[in-house]
Amino acid sequence: MFSLPDADMEMFELGEALRDKHVVLYFYPRDNTPGCTTEAKEFTDLGGAFEALGVKVLGVSTDSLESNAKFRAEHSLGVILLSDKDYAASLAFGTWGEKSNYGKTGVGMIRSTFVIGPDGTIERVYTV
């Protein structure tokens, strides 16, 4: 489990979020880019359905807290955005590494979504 600061500059603990509920944990490359904005808005639009199922949605990037707060405000996002500046969670989940984007290979965030059960078991993984 991990603790990361959220866009409100409060520490958020994954273990606390998992108490008696599922978590959708998605790792995204960068605030305010077209794909990441679409993804965050879609999770926000589905917020009521997730809440009805008792599921908490968390987004993780290596952007700063300030960037996350601005991103959330600019797009009225309803998901919790966490800052992984030291790559600890990204490395632990295997979402930071070599990737190919628009024909170029480099190192960065690999867009990935994990469905985690209340007991901490990863039940599903989706990568793009």
Direct distance between the N- and C-terminal alpha carbons of the chain, in angstroms, rounded to an integer: 23
Catalytic position from the list 4, 36, 65, 77: 36
Q: Which helix (H) or strand (E) holds 42?
A: helix 34-45
Query: Token match 């866009």: residue?
Result: 7
Task: Return the sign of the alpha-carbon dihedral for residues 108, 94, 81, 44.
Answer: positive
Tokens describing residue 95: 């979402």
Please confirm, yes or no, whether 123 is among the known catalytic residues: no
Q: Catalytic residue positions?
A: 36
